[in-house]
Amino acid sequence: MSNPNFPPGPYTPGQHVIPPPRPASPATAEWRLNHLMLRIKDPEKSLRFYNDCFGLHVVFIFNVGPWTIYYLGPRDVEISSLGTSKGLLELYHIPSDSSFSYTSGNDYTTPSGIGFGHIGFTVPDVAAALERVKSFGFEVIKPLEEAKEETMGVPSAVVSGQAGEVQEGYKNVFRQLAFVKDPDGYWVEIVPQVVKG
């Protein structure tokens, strides 16, 4: 059975493929992606990053016993509306994990680093957001106007060009966004509200 929302490849490099929307599904009509969960090492640093720097607020804190959950969301979200909200972030602080290294998923130098890529925030002004991140003392991985493969979180075969060229159309988009690191090394992408083609 073919799915028009997932047209078969191969796809032309450097071009967006915009398939038709999936047909309505009564069984999943009210389903939405609600949140992502990250493990964190230092709640104070993480809350400073996601709350003070990126504008989320703590919806609730729940001490489970062995760990503490910090649920974050936009400022208009309350605990009573969590089930219908979007853009939520769940942070797990597990003190017994202190000897484990959390990896961002963009570290191809270790086998355990491949996986999770990044969280993305849309903002009206990426340059202003980057200045804010820097003023809070957090690391900028990829500044605006840069499109180097080594800041794309891809394998060394791509960085060296052995896997082929990254298309200029993607590089044009990539120059408009930025990446920063949160206190646990997770990558956070800062995307303009309007990306120019």
Active-site residue set: 189
Task: Return d(Cα 172, Cα 69) in angstroms, integer.
Answer: 38
> What is the Cα–Cα distance from 57 to 74, expressed in whole angstroms?
6
- Cα 88 from Cα 38, distance rounded (Å): 11
CA-CA-CA-CA torsion sign (72, 34, 75, 118): positive
CA-based end-to-end distance of the chain? 34
Q: Tokens in use for 29?
A: 């009509």
Amino acid identity, position 18: I
